[in-house]
Amino acid sequence: MKHRLLLTTGGFLLLLVFAFGLHAYSAPNEQQEDDGYSQIAIFAKAIQLLRQDYVDGNKTSYHDLITGAMKGMLSSLDPHSQYMDANDFREMQDDTRSRFNGLGIEVSMKNGLPTVVSPMEDTPAAKAGILSGDQILKINGSATDRMDLQDAMSLLRGAPGQKVTLTLLRPSTKEVKDYTLERVEIKVQSVKNAHVLETELTGPFKIAYVRLIQFNEPTADELAKALDELQKQGMQGLIVDLRNNPGGLLNSAVDVCAQFLPPNTKVVSTQGRTTSQQRDYSTPSTTKQRPDFPMALLINEGSASGAEIVAGALKDLKRAILVGETTFGKGSVQNVLQLPDGSALRFTTAKYYTPSKQVIHGNGVAPNIRVAMTPEQERTLFTTRSSSGEKSPNEVDLVKTKDPQMLRAIDALKGVMIYAQQNSPKTESVKK
């Protein structure tokens, strides 16, 4: 009971002090193996020994030791769980508001290495030709094979104007190359390049195109405005480009689905250990209903998280044709809980399931029409789009020579619309 009293009245540090005085310490028996108090006593003893005998006393403050322990504890669970100090937590909040300092790459742990989920549009990483799937071997000469995700992210981010050298391995070609990039302040425009495609590509049909860069707070509203303008221009079909979209906020992804689905339609569900994590997410009842125009989604290995939720929902509900390659497979739910000192824990609490109960995590979302692209085609396409602003001046040539996925999506929509025209009810003339 003394342990309990100390936890409730004095908190964790009093327990540590109490544990340091346990001269008659003994190893836990089998009944004690998963008892919280005995395990915390072992942890406290370890801290005592490190503070007492570790060679470098500058590294043994309570703050440093416990912070290191929490980082290790979270990273041991899965690649997406992490401890964030107060600065890291503030940067994560900035991410969701579409502004931060860095190189412009979304990174996840894969096969023990920090791996590029996708480069972000109009950022140093995209302009340099970094691609989804590139593995980061070194950051400023420091090997990453023993880094956790948060340590890698801390090295990638920093003040604007500073340069960072990345050593990347491209698995598809086995090429290892150094990239020296300069950090900048990144303001991500989540909806880009909304326009009606050239008639040389689409023939008699008005097929529109829009890219979703990521899912943050303003994404759904920005998309709604873009769709309103495209409808005014007579849009008959739509291609939504989710390639290299690393995801973002769950609610934003659901609200984007609402632009294309009826109100109160379930688009994703989560399942975890507790009943609070068993939840269905549906489109809002107040979203404006749009015409049921034909749609295609472009996806690739860089489409992750929120992008996979949208792709999985629109595929399962037969609202869109998916063209491209299987998505990244990052379909787990992370909750972020702030701690009293301003730091935070980000940890996995559930997995996403599509409307047909397909698990996204580890599997990804497969396209209806598989179209592969070479690394050279990807590099040329995304570097050109990142550097050319909104609409590429040579869009027709770019699509025909470097974007087979886009070309196939256009053909698929044209086929759907031709079939619809041929099978639409004929209005009989009325004889007078």
pLDDT < 50 stretches in the chain: 1-26, 427-432
Domain 191-337+347-422 -> CATH class: alpha beta
Given 38, 45, 127, 316, the catalytic residue: 316
Structure confidence by residue, pLDDT tens digits, 349-393? 999 999 999 999 989 999 999 999 988 888 788 777 655 555 666
Active site residue 172: no
Q: Which of 132, 190, 303, 305 is catalytic?
A: 305
CA 114-122-139 angle, to 5 degrees, is 25
**DSSP label at residue 300:** -
The pLDDT of residue 30: 52
Instruction: Tell me the two tokens of residue 138.
Output: 């070194």
DSSP assignment of 231-264, as one string?
Answer: HHTT--EEEEE-TT---B-HHHHHHHHTTTS-TT
Q: How far apart are CA 256 and CA 352, in angstroms?
A: 17
Confidence at residue 142, expressed as pLDDT on a 0 to 100 scale: 92
Cβ neighbours of residue 181 closer than 8 Å, sequence gap 6 or more: 103, 124, 125, 128, 163, 164, 165, 166
- pLDDT at site 18: 42
Among residues 98, 161, 162, 144, the alpha carbon closest in space to that of 153 is found at 144
Structure tokens at 142: 């420091």
pLDDT of residue 100: 67
Q: Which of 71, 192, 315, 330 is catalytic?
A: 330
DSSP string, 208-229: EEEEE--B-TTHHHHHHHHHHH
State yes or no: is 388 an active-site residue.
Answer: no
CATH number attached to the domain at 100-187: 2.30.42.10
Half-sphere exposure of 2 (CA within 13 A, CB side): 8
The CA angle 214-220-225, to the nearest 5 degrees, is 115
Segments making up each domain of the chain, as ranges = 2-60, 100-187, 191-337+347-422
Q: Give the CA diameter of the chain.
A: 109
Place of tokens 């015409």: 291
Q: Is 71 a catalytic residue?
A: no
- Quickly list DSSP for 316-368: HTTS-EEEES------EEEEEEE-TTS-EEEEEEEEEE-TT--B-TTT----S
